[in-house]
Amino acid sequence: MKDVAALVLPGGYLSSVGALVDGFALIARHVFTQFAPPYRHTMKTRVRLLGATAGGLEFAGGRKMDSDGDLLGDAEYSIVYVPAFSVASEEALVTLLDHAQPVTEWLRWQRARGAVLAGSGTGVLLLAQAGFLDGGPAAVPRVLRGLLRSRYPKVRVDTGATMAEHGGVYTCSVPASEWQLVARLVDRAISPHTAQWLASTTGTDGEREEGRLSSDDPLVSSAQFWLAQRFAQDFKISELAEMLAVSHATLLRRFTRSLGMTPRAYASSLRIESAKRMLRNTQVSIDQIAVMVGYSDVRAFRKIFHKYVSMSPSAYRRRGADRE
């Protein structure tokens, strides 16, 4: 799995950068505790804070920090995020954009190699400068809408949304939505189930995407969260019912009515999605993956995997390699 990059421009807001950094720290802890010993492992994906030029990073308010690198070299990233940054005036922002060619060329290079791109606040203007938002909607701070409309007439300002997506490029207009933005990026680049876990953990799961397996029933949503934390371990549905203070029959009835499957079947789907992710992104053996996601019987894992995916785990892994 490729690393994740935040391109921190001078005057970057710590909170804007921190949403990405802390989000992945939470995910790393979740990944470590998700699997039963002895197969617990640390997440290898790192968040790297890059500067547009060599040297350290300077944040809004004057705080300074060493960077993890710059735009030189050929490192490829799965996610590239441009956090919001402070500028003295609109004129200063225009000057920055007029001289942003090295940054925009680097962003295009990353995008051409599959990176999911995102920007927040003033960072959205750099994505527009690179041409990624032409023809699509963009969420941009209210104070910058006039500049965006005049400078980038092909971009449609979405005044009714704090987040927008256009062709795999995400924009965010307000700091309060940056945690939701990070969850969307995780959904797109890593795993929908991990994104759902992050959104639930950070309390930003109020908005559900169309087509996502989710429930408006608070009891079922709580059950989904409980199962997402334990799907690779031995558990009993009776324990879940006890935790929710309902009968086993009530839990089954409401869960099945809401999601069209039993809690046990939902846990199986989480196991298979986790296995698919490891088959795509690691060289861990199929037998070991089976144990890591909760199957002591490898033959049973292969059978259930084929039921969900309509191909064997080895065929799924080969298909992913062929697409690289």
pLDDT in tens, 227-251: 887 888 888 999 999 989 999 999 9
Q: Does residue 21 sit in the same domain as residue 140?
A: yes
Same domain, 264 and 301: yes
pLDDT at 287 exceeding the cut of 90: yes
Q: Does 299 map to a domain? A: yes
The arithmetic mean of pLDDT across residues 204-230, rounded, is 70
Compute the 3-state secondary structure of the chain and give helix, strand, coil in percent, each to the nearest 5: 50, 15, 35
Judged against a pLDDT cut of 90, whether residue 253 lies above it is answered with yes
Q: At residue 170, does pLDDT exceed 80?
A: yes
Residue 279 is predicted with a pLDDT of 87
- Domain span including residue 268: 213-324
Residues 64 and 132 in one domain: yes
Q: Is the model's pLDDT at 305 over the cut of 50?
A: yes
Residue 185 sits in the same domain as residue 218: no
Asked if residues 121 and 13 have their Cβ atoms less than 8 Å apart, the reply is yes
Of the given ranges (127-141, 180-194, 259-273), which has the lowest mean pLDDT?
Answer: 180-194
pLDDT at 58 over 50: yes
Rounded to the nearest 5°, which phi and psi values hold at 89? -165, 170
CATH number at residue 152: 3.40.50.880
pLDDT of residue 34: 64
In a domain, 207, yes or no: no
Q: Is the pLDDT of residue 88 over 80?
A: yes
Domains in the chain, number: 2
Percent of all residues in the chain with a pLDDT value above 90, rounded to a whole number: 61
Does residue 300 lie in a domain region? yes
149 in the same domain as 15: yes
- The reported pTM is 0.68
Q: Is the pLDDT of residue 209 over 60?
A: no
Nearest Cα to Cα of residue 278 among 267, 270, 266, 286:
286
Task: Answer whether residue 322 shows pLDDT above 80.
Answer: no
Strand bridging mode 57-58 / 3-8: unpaired
Check whether residue 168 and residue 256 sit in a common domain.
no
Check pLDDT > 50 for residue 101: yes
Answer yes or no: is pLDDT of 291 > 80.
yes
pLDDT of residue 321 exceeding 60, the answer is: no
Regarding whether 192 and 71 lie in a shared domain, the answer is yes
Residue 313 lies in a domain: yes
23-37, 132-146, 157-171, 259-273: segment of lowest average pLDDT: 23-37
**In the predicted model, what is the mean pLDDT of the chain?**
88
Both 111 and 142 in a single domain?
Answer: yes
Residues 147 and 35 in one domain: yes
Residue 264 backbone dihedrals phi, psi, to 5 degrees: -65, -40
Note whether residue 189 is domain-resident: yes
148 belongs to a structural domain: yes
Cite the beta strand spans of 186-257 per DSSP E.
Answer: none
pLDDT class of 6 with cuts at 50, 70, 90: very high
Does residue 102 sit within a domain? yes
In angstroms and rounded to an integer, the radius of gyration of the C-alpha atoms of the chain is 22
DSSP calls for 9-64: -TTB-HHHHHHHHHHHHHHHHHHHHHSPTTS-------EEEEESSSS-EEBTTS-E
Does residue 101 form part of some domain?
yes
| Residue 231's CATH number | 1.10.10.60
Residue-wise pLDDT for 21-57, tens only, equals 999 999 888 777 766 555 555 677 899 999 998 889 9
Which pLDDT belongs to residue 174?
93
The alpha carbon of 50 is separated from its chain's Cα centroid by a whole number of angstroms, namely 19
Residues 63 and 137 in one domain: yes
* Same domain for 218 and 91: no
